[in-house]
């Protein structure tokens, strides 16, 4: 079984869109990786972009790399759930992959800022489950940012300012997880996923099941 020992849910289910946001350094990437490793039926959404691949990046895995003309055609055809123009380049979340996965009973993980989370919720309100990751303290956040490879005092200071702006949006989210102790925070995130899978709207066989219980099937 793909879910490494979790009890199997009854019947078929529609997947969900697990949208994670956090101020940079709070642990979103770390928690996402843990979830993707444990749950093979959770897949990370792959965005499209017009920026060139960095060394080691693969088309279709890290991003769908597109030319500006291709990207604009995709916008015109309504192929994005959301898109943005960041640092002179286009970035967007393609809709078709996500919809196919949800229908196949797989969950899709999104690592986006609060504006991205809002846009995804606007497009797919019944499918989005949003989680905001918070650090246990400002000092811990600073230490985590400083501890990351390639960090400088200037970069940390800028990220701390950005972090405060991002934290202000915490009330928009369905759930908030304080990433104090990593294992404990991961368990909270996992519980959110497991319980959200049981929502009535996501259990696709319930109509038939109840009809059977009532002797109508």
- Give contact residues for ligand 5GP (rule: CB under 6 A): 47, 51, 82, 84, 86, 91-93, 116
φ/ψ of residue 147, rounded to 5 = -80, -10
Nearer to ligand 5GP, 84 or 206 (CB): 84
DSSP, residue by residue, 4-68: TTPPPPSS-B---EEEEE--TTSSHHHHHHHHHHH-TTEEEPPPEESSPPPTT--BTTTBEE--H
> Is 26 among the residues that bind ligand ADP (CB under 6 A)?
yes
Q: What's the min distance (Å) between Cβ of 132 and ligand ADP?
A: 11
Nearer to ligand 5GP, 12 or 158 (CB): 158
> Is 24 among the residues that bind ligand ADP (CB under 6 A)?
yes
Helix axes 138-147, 153-167, angle to 10 degrees: 140
> Is 116 among the residues that bind ligand ADP (CB under 6 A)?
no
> Of these partners, ligand 5GP, ligand ADP, none, which one is at the site of residue 158 (CB under 5 to 8 Å by kind)?
none
Q: What's the min distance (Å) between Cβ of 214 and ligand ADP?
A: 48
Provide the token pair at 64.
Answer: 């769908």
> Of these partners, ligand ADP, ligand 5GP, none, which one is at the site of residue 3 (CB under 5 to 8 Å by kind)?
none
> Of these partners, ligand ADP, ligand 5GP, none, which one is at the site of residue 51 (CB under 5 to 8 Å by kind)?
ligand 5GP
What angle (nearest 5°) sits at the alpha carbon of residue 73, between those of residues 68 and 77?
A: 150
Q: What's the min distance (Å) between Cβ of 84 and ligand 5GP?
A: 3
CA–CA distance, 109 with 192 (Å, rounded to integer): 13
Q: Which of 151, 212, 171, 181 is nearest to 24 (CA)?
A: 151
Q: What's the min distance (Å) between Cβ of 23 and ligand ADP?
A: 7
- 174, 21 contact by CB (below 8 A): no
CA–CA distance, 95 with 196 (Å, rounded to integer): 21
Site for ligand ADP in 130-159 (CB under 6 A): 144, 147-148
Binding residues vs ligand ADP (CB under 6 A): 22, 24-30, 144, 147-148, 179, 181-182, 185
């Amino acid at each position: 079984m793909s879910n490494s020992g979790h009890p199997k849910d009854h019947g078929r289910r529609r997947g969900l869109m697990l949208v994670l946001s956090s101020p940079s350094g709070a642990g979103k990437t770390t928690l996402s990786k843990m979830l993707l490793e444990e749950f093979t039926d959770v897949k990370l959404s792959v965005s499209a972009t017009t920026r060139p691949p960095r060394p080691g990046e693969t088309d279709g895995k890290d991003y769908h790399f597109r030319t500006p003309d291709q990207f604009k055609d995709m916008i015109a055809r309504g192929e994005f759930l959301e898109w943005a123009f960041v640092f002179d380049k286009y970035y967007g979340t393609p809709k078709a992959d996500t919809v196919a996965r949800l229908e196949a009973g797989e969950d899709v993980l999104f690592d986006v800022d609060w504006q991205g989370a809002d846009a995804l919720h606007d497009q797919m309100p019944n499918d989005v489950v949003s989680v905001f990751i918070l650090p246990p303290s400002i000092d811990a956040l600073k230490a985590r940012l400083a501890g990351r490879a390639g960090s400088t005092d200037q970069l940390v200071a800028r990220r701390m300012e950005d972090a405060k702006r991002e934290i202000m949006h915490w009330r928009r989210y369905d759930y908030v997880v304080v990433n104090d102790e990593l294992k404990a925070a991961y368990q909270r995130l996992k519980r959110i996923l497991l319980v959200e899978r049981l929502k009535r709207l996501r259990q696709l066989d319930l109509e038939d099941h109840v009809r059977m219980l009532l002797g109508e099937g």
